[in-house]
Structure 1
């Protein structure tokens, strides 16, 4: 029995081909070129091979991860841009951004497309640093008068470099994450994040801005969440912060139902914020007496600081603030007066006679004056802090700002950058093994400007140093959030070393900080004034002073790199 075309033949019959010419044979499509080149290669570690992926399969994943990463980066930037009224609010905002970042690194989607995870992580770094470090544009364009295109390019270039570090961490985390989600979110991913921050804070002189530890430690200064700073430094605080973000993500993915998820997040974040209300013990530890110091802020805008007609008025203003102001009754004169970075806008040789006369007067009154000035030797020009009067010592800045104080590029590029009115100068780094400064009987460890962002720059002074001094010239950044960001990083140095910190700037923020990172007192921004404080000259060493951040770094290498790699190799051996 025949069957017409288009009908299903009955059981037991054979369908006949309809009358007419036979249909042309359709050529088979060649899909071999659609496979990604990485699919033909063996995985990073042999074992459970992932299913083949097509090149176009990564694009839809990137369409999801890039917007998510950008949103996470903007939230992370917002957490570093609300000061100081929004202290706890900005911590919650930062935790939301960090949790979104870890969501890009974990789960089946991330494991199926590590490239998409890397792309989203790059978007995180690009958006976070472009938004939170906009003050670079202000420094180059507004203060220095450089071209708009160059100012924008420098901001984007820095953000792109930082984004590359996060992309590297995101690719590794997504590709090497364990099968068990709790191991990935509570062990591996937080360690990978800390390693990413450590690398970008160390390689190529480092840029540790916007690290997780700089979010939590200043917000909860003097309370339990900031306690890890004295144990393992800023990176241990960052590890606990990332661990909390991983726990939030684990609860969100594991809890059945929206209500239970919200309850779990409230318990986690509310519990952490509750611990943040419990103060640490008030005891400072053993002391060698007190130091009465006066911190002087000139309040001279950067645009006028180096004008020839402002030179003498600048010296006069600092002298009046230091010596011409009446002291409170029954209060002795300060043993130490501190002027900010490059308070004298000339080289030491140019004002040699002035400094010699000042030294003679200070010795007669038994006062030490630490002032910032440029010094020159046969080795070159230094950014220095010198002590006059009843003290001694000279410190040359060791950790210089790339493209601000030196140019790690060929001379032709260096000359072109200088011609663009960049806020830069050619300086020479000071030696690594410099001695601390003395003011009377007090021994002081010193950092200049950018060095306050690095724990190792302060750790090398202790336990010999009894007080820490940080001088800076933040006038380059105007009235931007950079002033608060810089102060927050300096506060973490006080927590790590267990020392009082005296921070003196030309335009703000001048402040005194206790060993738990709390601000004792501060001066308003861009207003001339002085701050009289009495601080204890402490001794002893915290665990961070003894061991630094290396225990945390080694732990993160073991749990974030060695552990996932060992699991992959073990699976390969069983296969």
Structure 2
């Protein structure tokens, strides 16, 4: 082992940067469509190894390289969105994607910097307290700052294994915390043998802690948080498969409308029919007469229809990305007359550049990507009520909103089901749509409620309260997907108490680590 110690000291920082880059790239294999969750455990352990005994400036660069690998591989669909649908040349799309990855990579870079600066010579106990808590804190920051990028949280990699049991307790972030805790344990065990330490109590403590973590996870998996009631609903999701370049072209409006009308005829035996985000490319109120006709048809068949549509309110110049319910809604059946409460939902969390342009006065018109169709939406008000359809309450989440755990937790408290609609055409045939679906699976698991997901090109699905996919439509083809969902009885801990217990735990772990690091040794 002495030879290994000397070898480690001689490793060039540049080689460590490359190892960190590779380690970050491996990270994305833990997520859909690869689902190799072991990669999401070993990757942070490798980052810790790279940070070991490095200077503060080196730690920042190591974290930056790790982040570039992580987001360069894990969010490569950003290039597809910018190049294929953003009317941007290959070199400019590469440049914009590179800048995006570099900015997002600052989160692991800063996390590595703070860990190295304040906890460089920490004990195993301190490392186990600090590194996992710092990781999750920076995940939270990344999901919030500048409207947030809540993607590739490490917890998502564990949708199919026993660590998923922590999701109903503290959301995906609780799973992230446990996952990185295990990563840190693996690093500590490796470091123990690597440094040839003759302290069997330390070795035994690390191994026992690792085993105990899996025992707790296994035990938590036995808890049943919610159970189905006899109240059931049959839903049909219409997947129109409308090409992105056609969606906002006036020449195709009639064809798009005919597609949804034709497919909906196959679904009129269901209680609720759902069209995806922005299904009808004619904003309300211009499309109001059409929806009056659809509402009349739906009522005649005892059906409620929920659809995505842009909305411009009277005496307003701004547009909202919205969900609109007509037909047998349960709101005194009066949505077609212009009622709003329970009939319409305005999207709160908008996608930068896709739905609005940051620093619009400076950027609008510079290149085609900053001037996309329908990229002038404004966010809807906070604390909106669930949509009503056939007398049931639906917690709405349009596209990107399903990736915000706290938002969905708050919206779903007083709802029977979670409804998410999306237009994942922007992702093309990349890994993006399956990552998005995986995120929706976690929202079901966290809340113990059924998630109904309707998309334009895929993946349209019904997800049960255990996070498992019950029915799914093939991607990139027209489809009507039908299934039954039940109202659930019971409530998960995450739904009941939200983020605060987990936030308190993170503060305690960080403070405890700092205390152990700074206390005077006898």
TM-score normalised according to structure 1 size: 0.79
5+ long unaligned stretches in structure 2: 1-8, 332-342
1-structure distance, mates of 2:218, 2:252 = 47
1:79-478 aligned within 5 A: 79-80=30-31, 83=33, 86-87=34-35, 90-105=36-51, 107=52, 109-110=53-54, 113-177=55-119, 179=121, 181-216=123-158, 218-220=159-161, 224-255=162-193, 280=222, 284-285=226-227, 287=229, 289-324=231-266, 333-377=269-313, 378=316, 380-391=318-329, 392=331, 393-418=343-368, 422=372, 425-478=375-428
Cα distance in 2 for residues equivalent to 1:420 and 1:546? 41
Shift of 1:184: 3.3
Residues 206-259 of structure 1 deviation map (CA, whole Å, 9 limit, x = unaligned): 11211111111x233xxx32111110011000001001111111121213799x
> How far, CA to CA, are the matches of 1:175 and 1:563 in structure 2?
17
Give secondary structure in 2 for the equivalent of 1:197. helix
Q: After TM superposition, give the deviation of residue 60 of structure 1 in Å.
A: 7.5
Relative distance call for 1:152 and 1:169 in structure 2 (3 A) is same
CA distance in 1, matches of 2:374, 2:42: 37
Query: What pairs up with 1:498-509 in 2 under 5 angstroms?
Result: 498-509=448-459
8 Å CA contact 1:146–1:421 kept in 2: the answer is: no
Moved more, 367-376 or 304-313: 304-313
Compared with structure 1, are the counterparts of its residues 95 and 283 closer, same or farther at alpha carbon in structure 2 (3 Å cutoff)?
closer
Q: Distance in 2 between matches of 1:155 and 1:423?
A: 20
Whether the 8 Å contact between 1:65 and 1:119 is mirrored in structure 2 is no
Q: How does 1:534-573 map to 2 (within 5 A)?
A: 534-560=484-510, 562-567=511-516, 569-571=518-520
SS at match of 2:227: coil
Over the residues paired in the alignment, what is the CA RMSD in angstroms?
3.0
Is 1:484–2:484 an aligned residue pair? no
Shift of 1:91: 1.1
Change (3 A) 1:286 1:484: closer
In the alignment, which of 473, 482, 502 is matched to residue 523 of structure 1? 473
Partner SS for 1:416 = coil
Partner of 2:24: 73
Shift, 1:279, TM fit: 6.3
Alpha carbons 1:366, 1:390 under 8 Å: kept: yes
Distance in structure 2 (CA, Å) of the matches to 1:468 and 1:338: 13
Q: 1:554 to 1:268 in 2, by over 3 A?
A: closer
Structure 2 Cα separation of the partners of residues 550 and 298 of structure 1: 41
Larger radius of gyration: 1
- 1-side partners of 2:454 and 2:309: how far apart? 14
